């Protein structure tokens, strides 16, 4: 492991003498071409300084692994999105939870469990009140009574917000709607599918393995599910929804979106949450001639469809409602949240690669062991 003597807090270098702890952080060293490889990253040891006025020092315990990180692992992120990760720098803007070790910020005390956006490292100095990830990642003290802290990276955090906002506010779920969710065994998809079931809808899920299909039917209680690798998508979808669908929650894009446009009934709605099938391409559908999207868009006219892209971070005002409502459903056992847990910070890149390959179910998380840290490196 390399050792460098730079401060890891708030992006400001600080001399080694200021460091109160040695932490590790993951840095990208090359932008992946095609598949993400662990060798595109390195683990760096850094001296982390203590907090200044308005800041807290946090020992991170869990950090999130999200499909959308792939979109930022390139020279330029798509317009309107969070910025690309600079090479050889800490990866700012990844959700994480941890424990406050030292606080110089009002409202935070040692021992508090917090969420923030300085993930993929084991220690972080975080400025209270500073906007991160559109507000989702701003330093927040968490109520962890009755729910494990990492739930705030899943159902009770940005993942839950994305599912809730996308289904209820973007797709505007209505009584009687038949709903198709793609990547339905993943973090966002499994929540969307369950939320629609809780509201009494017929829900169809698709995923990339027979084991995941069983999970959707047996554990999540969906009405129908199919493995999208089993044949032409329009046929698989027709079999699952012979009379068509009213809402499509899109996590995949490409051929999935095209099949949905074909199957949607008049006045149907699509919430485009993500397009993971395009993330490994050089420039995901960003300009003329780049589209891998639907070749049947004229049907949006003939069937009066509404197709809306959205970002969970555009609906941050719903977070308290999401925490309250999904928290209640979690505690009542009405929401099942599987987790794919990877142990050890250095495994974060491999966990991302596995997620992008589909080797995950539910929310993918890294449990940070904290074993490698040394306190008071200078002392």
Ligand X SMILES: NC(=O)c1ccc[n+]([C@@H]2O[C@H](COP(=O)([O-])OP(=O)(O)OC[C@H]3O[C@@H](n4cnc5c(N)ncnc54)[C@H](OP(=O)(O)O)[C@@H]3O)[C@@H](O)[C@H]2O)c1
Under the rule (CB under 6 A), what is the footprint of ligand X? 66-68, 162, 183, 185-189, 207-209, 212, 251-252, 273-274, 276-277, 310-312, 355-356, 358, 360, 364
Report the residue number, 247 or 276, with the smaller CB distance to ligand X.
276
The CA–CA distances, whole Å, from 168 to 181, 245, 259 equal 14, 16, 22
Residue 113 beta carbon to ligand X: minimum distance, rounded to whole angstroms: 22
Report the residue number, 26 or 48, with the smaller CB distance to ligand X.
26
Residue 209 beta carbon to ligand X: minimum distance, rounded to whole angstroms: 5
Neighbouring CB atoms inside 10 A of 336's CB total: 16
Residue 243 beta carbon to ligand X: minimum distance, rounded to whole angstroms: 24
Q: How far is CA 174 from the centre of its chain?
A: 26
DSSP string, 153-219: GTTTSHHHHHHHIIIIIIS---TT-EEEESSTTBHHHHHHHHHHHHTT-EEEEEESSHHHHHIIIII
Residue 95 beta carbon to ligand X: minimum distance, rounded to whole angstroms: 10
Report the residue number, 68 or 114, with the smaller CB distance to ligand X.
68
Report the residue number, 59 or 269, with the smaller CB distance to ligand X.
269
Residue 143 beta carbon to ligand X: minimum distance, rounded to whole angstroms: 23
Q: How far apart are the first and last CA of the chain?
A: 21
Overall size of the chain counted in residues = 379
Report the residue number, 60 or 162, with the smaller CB distance to ligand X.
162
Name the phi and psi angles at 221, rounded to 5. Answer: 70, 30
Residue 3 beta carbon to ligand X: minimum distance, rounded to whole angstroms: 32
183-208: b or e for each residue (b if 16 or more CB lie within 10 Å)?
Answer: bbbbbbbbbbbbbbbbeebbbbbbbb
Report the residue number, 100 or 319, with the smaller CB distance to ligand X.
319
């Amino acid at each position: 492991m390399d050792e460098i003597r730079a401060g890891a807090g708030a992006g400001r270098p600080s001399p080694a003498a200021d460091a109160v702890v040695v932490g590790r952080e993951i840095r990208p060293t090359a932008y992946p071409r095609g598949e993400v490889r662990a060798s595109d990253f390195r683990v760096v040891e850094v001296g982390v300084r203590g907090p200044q006025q308005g800041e807290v020092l946090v020992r991170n315990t869990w950090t999130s692994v999200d499909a959308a990180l792939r979109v930022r692992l390139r020279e330029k992120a798509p317009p309107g999105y969070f910025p690309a990760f600079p090479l050889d720098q800490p990866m700012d803007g990844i959700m994480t939870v941890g424990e406050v070790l030292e606080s110089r910020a009002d409202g935070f005390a040692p021992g508090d469990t917090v969420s923030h956006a300085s993930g993929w490292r084991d220690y972080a100095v975080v400025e209270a009140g500073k906007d991160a990830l559109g507000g989702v990642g701003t330093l927040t003290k968490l109520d962890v009574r009755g729910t494990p802290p990492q739930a705030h990276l899943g159902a009770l955090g940005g993942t839950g917000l994305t599912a809730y906002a996308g289904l209820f506010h973007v797709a505007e779920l209505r009584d009687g709607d038949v709903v198709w969710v793609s990547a339905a065994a993943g973090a966002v998809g499994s929540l969307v599918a369950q939320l629609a079931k809780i509201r009494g809808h017929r829900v169809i899920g698709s995923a990339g393995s027979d084991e995941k299909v069983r999970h959707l039917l047996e554990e999540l209680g969906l009405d129908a599910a199919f493995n999208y690798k089993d044949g032409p998508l329009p046929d698989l979808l027709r079999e699952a929804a012979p009379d068509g669908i009213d809402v499509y929650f899109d996590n995949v894009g490409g051929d999935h979106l095209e099949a949905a446009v074909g199957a949607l009934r008049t006045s149907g709605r699509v919430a485009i949450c993500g397009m993971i099938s395009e993330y490994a391409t050089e420039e995901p559908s960003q300009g003329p001639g780049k589209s891998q999207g639907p070749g049947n868009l004229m049907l949006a006219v003939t069937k009066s469809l509404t197709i809306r892209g959205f970002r969970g971070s555009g609906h941050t005002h719903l977070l308290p409602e999401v925490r309250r409502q999904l928290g209640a459903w979690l505690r009542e056992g009405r929401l099942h949240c599987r987790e794919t847990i990877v142990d050890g910070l250095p495994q974060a890149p491999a966990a991302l690669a596995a997620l992008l390959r589909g080797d995950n179910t539910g929310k993918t998380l890294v449990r940070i062991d904290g074993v490698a840290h040394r306190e008071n490196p200078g002392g």
